[in-house]
C-alpha cells in the first residue's frame, strides 16, 4: 500500500519536472537557426536520391512518396509530411519564396532568419500552426521545404530541412 501511495505522489512531480526541463519553442528555434546557418554555409550534403531531374539528400527515416515529381516532392517521416517545392526557373539567389512569406504571413511570423553567401539566398521561417505546433519553412533560391512540426521537434526539423534544401541539384 505504501509503495502505491508513493508512486501516486511522485509520478506527477516527475512529469512536471521532465516537462519543465524540455527546451522551449524559442530555445529550439534559436538553436535550429544557428545550425541551419552552418549547414547553409558548409558544403552541400551529397545527394542520395533522385526524382526525375532532381537530385537531393534524403536523411535516414525519410521516404519519398511515389506521386512526387520534379517540382513537388513529398517526403514523409513517421506520420509527418514534408513538401519540397522546386521552381527550376529561379536561381539560388532568388527571393521569391521569401517575398511570398513576407507578403502572405508577415503578421504571423514567430521567427525569421535570412542567410546570404556565394550568390545564394536562403531563409528559415517559423510560424505558429495550432496548439504546440509550428509551420517550418526552409528555402534557398527557388527551392522551398515546408512541414508542420510539433514543438518538441523544431530544432531537429530545421536542421534536417536545411540539409535537404541545401543538397538539391537540378540536372539541366
Q: What is the pLDDT of residues 134-151, one digit of tens each?
A: 999 999 999 999 999 999
Q: Please state, in angstroms and as integers, the Cα–Cα distance from residue 22 to each residue in 15, 18, 25, 152, following that order.
A: 11, 7, 9, 8
Q: What's the pTM?
A: 0.85
Whether the pLDDT of residue 14 is over 50: the answer is: no
State mean pLDDT over 114-142: 94
* Chain centre distance of CA 147: 6
Amino acid at each position: 500500500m505504501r509503495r502505491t501511495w508513493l508512486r501516486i505522489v511522485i509520478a506527477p512531480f516527475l512529469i512536471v519536472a521532465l516537462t519543465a526541463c524540455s527546451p522551449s519553442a524559442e530555445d529550439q528555434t534559436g538553436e535550429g537557426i544557428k545550425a541551419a546557418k552552418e549547414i547553409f554555409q558548409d558544403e552541400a550534403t551529397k545527394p542520395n536520391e533522385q526524382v526525375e531531374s532532381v537530385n537531393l539528400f534524403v536523411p535516414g527515416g525519410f521516404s519519398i512518396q511515389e506521386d512526387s515529381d520534379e517540382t513537388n516532392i513529398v517526403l514523409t517521416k513517421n506520420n509527418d509530411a514534408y513538401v519540397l517545392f522546386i521552381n527550376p526557373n529561379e536561381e539560388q539567389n532568388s527571393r521569391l519564396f521569401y517575398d511570398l512569406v513576407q507578403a502572405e504571413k508577415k503578421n504571423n511570423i514567430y521567427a525569421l532568419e535570412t542567410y546570404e553567401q556565394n550568390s545564394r539566398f536562403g531563409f528559415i521561417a517559423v510560424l505558429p500552426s495550432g496548439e504546440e505546433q509550428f509551420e517550418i519553412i526552409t528555402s534557398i533560391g527557388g527551392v522551398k521545404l515546408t512541414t508542420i512540426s510539433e514543438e518538441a521537434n523544431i530544432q531537429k526539423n530545421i536542421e534536417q530541412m536545411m540539409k535537404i534544401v541545401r543538397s538539391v541539384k537540378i540536372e539541366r
